[in-house]
Amino acid sequence: MKRDSEDKNNLSRRNFAKTAVAGVCAAALAGLAAQQAEAQTRPPHWHMQADVVVVGAGASGLPAAIEANERGVSVILIDANFDVGGHAIISGGNVALGGGTSRQKKYGIEDSPDTVFRDLTDWSIVEPNGFPDYRYNDKELIRAFADDSAPTFEWLVAHGVIFAEKAPDSAGGSGVGNSAPRENHAAPMAWPQIQTGKPVDAATAATASSGIGLIRPLEAAARKAGVQILLKHRMSSLIRQEPSPGRVLGIKVTHESKTLNIRARKGVILATGGSSSNVNFRRIFDPRLTEEYNGVAGEPYSAQDASGELAAIAIGASLWGAYNQVGEFGLRLAKAGRIGCQYGYNNLEWQPGSPVFHLARARGLQVHDYQDVILVNQLALRFYDETQGQYTSNNYNSLQPYTQGSYLNAANIKYEPANFLDAALAGTGDAVNGGGPIWAIFDADAVKRENWAVDPPWVDIGEGYFFSANTISALATAIVNKHQRKPIPGAILENTVARYNSFVDGAKDADFGKPAPQYKIQTPPFYAAWATPVVHDTRAGLRINAKCQVMDFSGDVIPGLYCGGESAGGFSLHGLARCIVQGRVAGQNAALETPASSKV
């Protein structure tokens, strides 16, 4: 009897401690968005209602809405933007679905769900800088993805997605597994692209790859099925019967200065697309990513604002898989491939025909040869070999030979600890977080070699992302940008350029080992172009289980709340595949929920 009493007391203390810690964590995180921290009882009036409400009409939200609708339930799908698609519609359209798809079988590629699972949980895969791609994946989530991967490919084809007719490959892949090629490519067909405002050339429409070829067919399927799509509707909070342990009843949204309450009789699915645009949220994981990293991939069309994560945290949801967000592999952070503009992601060029070009403002200059420029920090100093690349990731045949789970996979790589991105983010030695702006410095001869046009719409002069002058000293004085904490010292920039020019004379970079520096910076006019690294993937988010149900800090399911894609944590895979699969899973399971009583 005494032992029973002690056990009960100990259990009670453990439960108290667990609940207290969960509460403190939830409260601290919820403070990031106080306006969302309202866990409510049933509001006085529901303006709209459906069985399932999906938040976000991108690569997770559209599949979720279609799946739920095809199971006989009513669906409302909202999106804050003026059009559907999120990041997915302006992506490369590369969809890493394997496990034995009909396309893999057609081209004689051997793969299976078990192989996918083992690939994406292989502890032994390590990048040259020592960071593991898959070691911290949630195995429950990977098992669900592996089992649903091939069926999702067939589902996409059945819902109108046309994939370029070729064997799956590794193009556009990042962290998709070493054992088999799994990348499929959604053909853009005749749909006008968001980034250009026009279709791709008809000659390549069926063979190219673009996110427009994924999203427009899914949008058509959703509308044909009767999904109610509400654009320019932004979720401000989730509505829960009680902060804990009640079920989620619906959402509060804003639309044209009005506040609306939308009831979800069965469940709410968060498909809001991640957190890379939210400076305070992303700095939970990496304090270096301060405001100057403002050229987030996918913007200005689609911002990953952490709205889903914050709304869920406010009612007790937990984050999950944080390591994958800071792991230095893949496309979490990218070297700027386009300079002289705010939005410099290499694989996305904004053109004047785009409906959001007035926000993008410039196409940017694509650097073909980093021998043509030097990169300096805000103190006008070089900091690394400009020709160096970025974080790498594991894809098909990245490691040869490869044996799943063998320590030799890591033992046989060539260890290369240093990385351009880490050097760029290192800062300037003061007690301020963030690396500050990075500027590409070059001259008129480099413009000719690269065949650049250095006027709008190619560069953004008006907002301070591109400058020119007839002397290096005058160029330093001209550089004025809201993220430049300190003025560029003219004398230091002159010395930096002069020292680099001496390396060209000696064919050796004595500072950072740039291979045989080739071109002096000596012919006016001289130029400075914004070349700050680009934030990309979100790989940490809300804790979910294999059914895509959101869980709280105690590991319990929050009834009626689901999440998938980049707003969900525990999965390091880059790109569209995990979003689509988890969207489908969330839609399927939300549709099976028992409806909430009309009294709540």
Domain boundaries, the chain: 2-85+214-327+537-591, 336-388+439-530
* Mean pLDDT value across residues 529-533: 98
Rounded Cα distance between 218 and 222, Å, is: 6
pLDDT of residue 194: 98
Q: Is 49 helix (H, G, I), strand (E, B) or coil?
A: strand
Rounded Cα distance between 496 and 382, Å, is: 7
Fold of 2-85+214-327+537-591: FAD/NAD(P)-binding domain (3.50.50)
Rounded Cα distance between 19 and 183, Å, is: 43
Burial of 4 (0-12, 13-18, 19+ CB in 10 A): exposed
Residue the block writes with tokens 């895969």: 125
pLDDT of residue 31: 52
Architecture of domain 336-388+439-530: Alpha-Beta Complex (3.90)
Q: Are 296 and 275 in contact (CB under 8 A)?
A: no
* Mean pLDDT value across residues 238-267: 92
| Residue 597 CB partners (closer than 8 Å, separation 6+) | none
What's the pLDDT tens digit per position in 156-176? 999 999 999 999 999 999 999
- 3-state class percentages of the chain: helix first, strand second, coil last, to nearest 5: 30, 15, 55
Q: Where is average pLDDT lowest: 24-28, 411-415, 440-444, 581-585? A: 24-28
Residue 430 banded pLDDT, cuts 50, 70, 90:
confident
What's the pLDDT tens digit per position in 102-134? 999 999 999 999 999 999 999 999 999 999 999
* Angle formed by the axes of helices 139-158 and 576-591, nearest 10°: 90
β-sheet bridge partners, residue 255: 258
Question: 386 vs 4, which has greater pLDDT?
Answer: 386
The helix (H) or strand (E) run that includes residue 454 is none
Rounded Cα distance between 510 and 203, Å, is: 49
Rounded Cα distance between 96 and 181, Å, is: 8
pLDDT of residue 243: 58
How much of the chain exceeds pLDDT 90, in percent? Answer: 88
In one-letter notation, the amino acid at residue 502 is S
Rounded Cα distance between 570 and 319, Å, is: 9
